[in-house]
């Protein structure tokens, strides 16, 4: 027949829906990295090339280790989705600018291997990979991962350690404006509060980040901080001090919101954010760490399956 002579035109056959919002994993990761650029620039402004060195080394290690993992696991390489770069950058943000190279490599590699690839890659990880990497190196090499011990050639002080060891008065030497602008010692990117706020709100305004976790996290920190400062105004700083110090803002917008380790329902996200926020202040007040934020994020993520039970009744259910 004549029909067989001409090759049939091939059309795409796929399940509905045939439209898509256009948001892809690669696109989202690129936007997240873009949102971190202001903080990275600020970090270089305050700490110079050493900060750039840590960030570059961390990102490069993460990508290389993920590529290697994919090869060992005999599966298609997933480095082209930019998630490894994001993990590397977030880990670098938590480390001191003067961290030794082996610590950065160690943290970045462990973040990818133990934080992500052990669980099958993106989507399977039960905890935020960057925080896992940071927690392992911070507990294993306390001195080298501690900004107070490593960054000596600076006039910046860490308000959290001042508060922990010298009291409220010493902590008061860093004004809130200084904290906002990043003039405080800490993780190289985590302390760039204003830049991180800008990045976070950029993502929210683009619809790439849901506001529930970040706002609940910040609300949790503020509420708990307010409660403690009201209970003991002589020894405890105000809630804004807790908000602008340590890695609270980084955690609220970028660490706690790690998609696969955070809940998916609205009430779950709010409960998750509040838990992590309150836990941050609790660790700061009662714990041995001046800044408990990353640990609070890990703690809350452990309860994500429980928070996911907070889901609405389905349509038509009684």
Binding residues for other proteins, rule: CB under 8 A, are: 8-25, 28, 120-124, 210, 259-266, 269, 308, 311-317
Nearer to other proteins, 23 or 142 (CB): 23
- Output the furthest CA–CA distance in the chain (Å, rounded): 94
Q: How far apart are CA 47 and CA 56, in angstroms?
A: 14
User: Taking the complex as a whole, how short is the minimal distance between the CB of residue 91 and other proteins, in angstroms?
Assistant: 19
Angle, helices 101-113 vs 83-94, to 10°: value is 130
User: Taking the complex as a whole, how short is the minimal distance between the CB of residue 89 and other proteins, in angstroms?
Assistant: 18
Nearer to other proteins, 9 or 143 (CB): 9
User: Taking the complex as a whole, how short is the minimal distance between the CB of residue 74 and other proteins, in angstroms?
Assistant: 16
Nearer to other proteins, 169 or 318 (CB): 318
For the CA atoms of 104, 107, 113, 117, what is the dihedral angle to 10 degrees?
-100
User: Taking the complex as a whole, how short is the minimal distance between the CB of residue 69 and other proteins, in angstroms?
Assistant: 15
Phi, psi of 97 (to 5 degrees): -65, -25
Nearer to other proteins, 48 or 123 (CB): 123
Tokens representing residue 193 in the block: 């509060």
User: Taking the complex as a whole, how short is the minimal distance between the CB of residue 8 and other proteins, in angstroms?
Assistant: 7
Q: 310 CB contacts (<8 Å, ≥6 apart)? A: 263, 265, 267, 268, 271
Nearer to other proteins, 10 or 152 (CB): 10
User: Taking the complex as a whole, how short is the minimal distance between the CB of residue 116 and other proteins, in angstroms?
Assistant: 12
Nearer to other proteins, 19 or 286 (CB): 19
Nearer to other proteins, 207 or 234 (CB): 207
Tokens representing residue 117 in the block: 């690839």
Would you tell me how many other CB atoms lie within 10 Å of the CB of residue 23?
Answer: 12
User: Taking the complex as a whole, how short is the minimal distance between the CB of residue 289 and other proteins, in angstroms?
Assistant: 28
Nearer to other proteins, 15 or 152 (CB): 15
User: Taking the complex as a whole, how short is the minimal distance between the CB of residue 108 and other proteins, in angstroms?
Assistant: 21
User: Taking the complex as a whole, how short is the minimal distance between the CB of residue 64 and other proteins, in angstroms?
Assistant: 22
Nearer to other proteins, 194 or 310 (CB): 310
């Amino acid at each position: 027949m004549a029909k067989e002579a001409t090759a049939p035109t091939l059309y795409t056959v796929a399940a509905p829906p045939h439209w898509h919002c256009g948001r892809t994993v690669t696109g989202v990761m690129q936007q997240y990295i873009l949102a971190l650029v202001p903080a990275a620039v600020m970090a270089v402004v305050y700490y110079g090339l050493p900060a750039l060195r840590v960030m570059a080394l961390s990102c490069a290690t993460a990508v290389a280790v993920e590529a290697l993992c994919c090869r060992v696991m005999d599966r298609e390489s997933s480095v082209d989705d930019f998630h490894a770069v994001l993990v590397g950058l977030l880990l670098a943000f938590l480390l001191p600018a003067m961290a030794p190279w082996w610590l950065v490599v160690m943290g970045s590699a462990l973040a990818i291997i133990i934080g992500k690839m052990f669980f099958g890659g993106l989507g399977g990880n039960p905890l935020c990979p960057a925080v896992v990497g940071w927690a392992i190196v911070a507990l294993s090499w306390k001195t080298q991962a501690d900004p107070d011990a490593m960054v000596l050639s600076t006039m910046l002080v860490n308000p959290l350690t001042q508060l922990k060891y010298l009291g409220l008065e010493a902590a008061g030497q860093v004004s809130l404006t200084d904290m906002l602008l990043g003039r405080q010692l800490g993780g190289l990117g985590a302390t760039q509060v204003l830049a991180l706020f800008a990045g976070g709100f950029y993502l929210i305004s683009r619809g790439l980040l849901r506001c529930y976790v970040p706002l609940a996290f910040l609300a949790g920190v503020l509420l708990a901080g307010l409660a403690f400062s009201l209970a003991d105004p002589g020894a405890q700083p105000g809630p804004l001090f807790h908000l602008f110090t340590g890695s609270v803002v980084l955690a609220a917008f970028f660490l706690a919101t790690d998609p696969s380790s955070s809940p998916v329902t609205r009430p779950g996200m709010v409960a998750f954010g509040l838990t992590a926020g309150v836990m941050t202040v609790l660790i700061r007040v009662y714990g041995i760490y001046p800044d408990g934020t990353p640990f609070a994020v890990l703690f809350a993520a452990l309860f994500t399956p429980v928070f996911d039970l907070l889901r609405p009744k389905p349509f038509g259910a009684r």
